[in-house]
Each structure stands twice: as C-alpha cells, then as structure tokens.
Structure 1
C-alpha cells in the first residue's frame, strides 16, 4: 500500500496470506509485475522483470496516477470515521447491521447438534465394525471346531 501511495511501480513475489490478492491487484491495475516464488530458481526472469519495470514508462505512469488518486480521495479515513461515529451517536446501534451469528443460541453457535449427529454416526460405524468382526470370528471358530 505504501509503495502504491508513493507512486512507485512494483515487482511483487507473493508468499503468504493476503500477498496473493495484493499481487493480483497490482498486476490488474498495471502498476507492477507479479512473479511466482518458483521463478527465483533462475535469475533470468527476475532480471527481465527489473528491466521491464525500469524501461517501461507505463508502469511508472500508472503507479503515479494511482498514488495521486489515493492521496486525493474525496474523504480521508478520519472523516469517514467521524461521520460514522456521528451517525451512530444520532441513531444508536442498528439491529439490522448486527452479524447474524449474534442471534444464534448456544447449540447452534457451537454446532453441538452437528457434533452430536457426527458422533452418533461414528459410534454406529464402530459398533457395526465390531459386530462384523465378532460375527466373522464366531464363524471362523465354529469352522475350526468341526
């Protein structure tokens, strides 16, 4: 985010977490190049990306444009926060904006019904396996006696 705000083109190599999404956004808006971490096995692709970033003016132009757009957005984060707090103070908490999970009862919230059902199925399968083993060993024992 800082590089985009400063208007600097990027070479992005995503590794973990939200880096995949961020790299995709950088590639889509045209402010940088996305490389896969497996491409670092050889230096050719990295050198090519660096040359492309340095020699292609389009990356710099788009990066500066996006950076300027971010710096000149219509409302700052502080203004949005203050407006939301004024709205909240005026109208109070709104039930329609509450997350549905807040309305779940204890059994639904902790999935006790699902766990009980799966536990029942697990016990049933164990009992069936035990009965099958018991039945087959009895058959085997009867055959050896005769």
Structure 2
C-alpha cells in the first residue's frame, strides 16, 4: 500500500513514503525551532535578571544619596557633642571609626544581595537536555 498526502499535515507525506532528505529536512527544521526557542528563553531570562539587579542597585544608590545629607548633619552633631568631653580632634576620629564600621557592614550586605542574582537557570537546564532530546531521550537530565 502506498501512502499519499498526510491528511493531518497538508503538504507533507506520510512517514512510510518520506525520503531521507525529507526526514533530514524535518529534523533540521525542528532543531532550528528548538535553537530559536532556547535563544528567546535566554533573552527573556537575561532581561528579567538584569531588570531585577538594576532595580536593586538603583534603589541602593537612591537611598545612599538621600541618606547621605542627613548623615552628614548627624555626624557633625555627634562630632560637636563629643568635642566637649573628649576634644574635637578625638571626637572626629571616633565618628570616622563609627562610619568605617557602618561602611563595612553595608558592603557585606550588598555583596550578599548581588550574589542572589541567579542568571539564566532555566535556559541552562533546558540547554543541557538538548543532546538527550536529539537522541530521543527527552526526559533525561545530565
């Protein structure tokens, strides 16, 4: 029995009459579609990660600028308040050491926050599955 046009997919013939060239063409189209989809997923994930990181960094920057002026005045007030019992020179050193401690704590917290940016986890996972999918084992993980 010879196969005619495939009624489900017009323009294609059934598998029994498909030539090697047609099968290779179908595999090439499917692989091309898969690669395009992976690229789109990578773009979407990169955009989302960059947006989240940018928001976080922007908010830290804005908070730093807004608080900077208030901290200058608080520091000056503390310097002058400590200046009477200790002397202005030593009170300046005390205030500077306090700000060095605050800077160290903020730097450590900022580093922790930036480490939370995950990059492209789903894209990496699906790209690892491509070789298995090409071999017909779509559900295998590497």
Regarding TM over 0.5, the answer is no
- TM-score in terms of structure 1 length: 0.31
Structure with bigger strand share is 1
Structure with bigger helix share is 2
